[in-house]
Amino acid sequence: MTALKIGAFYNPHLGRELAAAQGIDHLAMADPPRADDPWWPKIKARYTLLLHDYLGQLSEPLDERSIQRARSLAELYHTPWVAEHFQCLHTEDGAYNLNYVFPPLYTEEFLTRFVANANALKARLDQPLVMENIPGFFDVRHSQMAEPLWLRRFFEATEVGFLLDLPHVWLEAHYRGVRPADWLAEFPLEHVIELHVAGVSQDSDLQGPWIAPAEPAQEMLEFAAHAVTRCPRARAVTFDAFSPSLTAEVLLRGVERIRAALA
């Protein structure tokens, strides 16, 4: 395994701090830079940037407009890979939209759709494609296989990279009542290129933990340290915190603690 790069998400409201920060190897870009962002030129000049925008949902083929947008962002960032999510969050007719990542049904039909559409997208990109796992808060009884098996078959069929979001795995394990390390072991870790690490906090609607723009707890850091030993092709770990409420202190300390935990 090559030396892991440790990075964070670009939060434009923290542009000043990120432009001067030490100890951050890369920044993931969740949104295109704003035209009036005074820190963007310095950020672009200084950091390796990872394209992590909303590109679409691969239950349907991306249209030409979305592909051109992805290509143009990839070129702007000089990204080493392009990230997309295993998500299906709006209805086919556009009438309903959850505005939040939501996983597909784990069925043969959806697997066929995602494989075909990921292969089509991959063929139109000049960079490798990586796909991020998305947590389910509840199981849909129509699913035909467990998520890890569905993912394994997807990666074998497409040979795209795996962006392993560890808090997503941790949350699923929590809500399933299983040990996170045991649940993690089910996933196709040999395909992992990048890992996400993040904090979780109690959510009053969910009546349980969920992703939050907070520092990762010690348990999550230990989970990350365990996970990277199982991911021989991993090249980067990213502190997955992106929110207007995120403070520079939390972001910088989060990266520092991840780096220390993985040293």
Partner 1 sequence: MTDRALHDLVIRALADAPFRRSAEWRQRALADPERVERFARFLARHFYFERIVHFFKYSGALARLTGRRPDAVLGQPAFAALLPSLVLGSQDSARAVAGLVVAHVKSGAPSPPIPYHDDLLRYEQTMMVVEAGPRVWREAGNGQPATGNAQPQTVQGTALLDLAYDLPAVLPKLLQPFTTVPDAPARPVRLIVARSRHGRVAVAKATDAIVSILDLADGRKTLDDLAREAGLRPAEVEATLQGLTELGAVRFSTGS
Q: Which is nearer to partner 1, 7 or 104 (CB)?
A: 104
One of 12, 80, 104, 213 touching partner 1 (CB under 8 A): 104
User: Is 178 a residue that touches partner 1 (CB under 8 A)?
Assistant: no
Closest approach of Cβ 200 to partner 1, in Å? 13
Q: Which is nearer to partner 1, 22 or 99 (CB)?
A: 99
User: Is 102 a residue that touches partner 1 (CB under 8 A)?
Assistant: yes
SS (H, E, C) the chain: CCCCEEEEECCHHHHHHHHHCCCCCEEEECCCCCCCCCCHHHHHHHCEEEECCCCCCCCCCCCHHHHHHHHHHHHHHCCCCEEEECCCCECCCCCCECCCCCCCCCCHHHHHHHHHHHHHHHHHCCCCEEEECCCCCCCCCCCCCCHHHHHHHHHHHHCCEEEEEHHHHHHHHHHHCCCHHHHHHCCCHHHEEEEEECEEEEECCCCEEEEECCCCCHHHHHHHHHHHCCCCCCCEEEECCCCCCCCHHHHHHHHHHHHHHHC
User: Is 95 a residue that touches partner 1 (CB under 8 A)?
Assistant: yes
Binding mask 122-141 for partner 1 (x = CB under 8 A): ---------------xxxxx
Closest approach of Cβ 228 to partner 1, in Å? 30
One of 2, 35, 100, 263 touching partner 1 (CB under 8 A): 100
One of 26, 52, 85, 113 touching partner 1 (CB under 8 A): 113
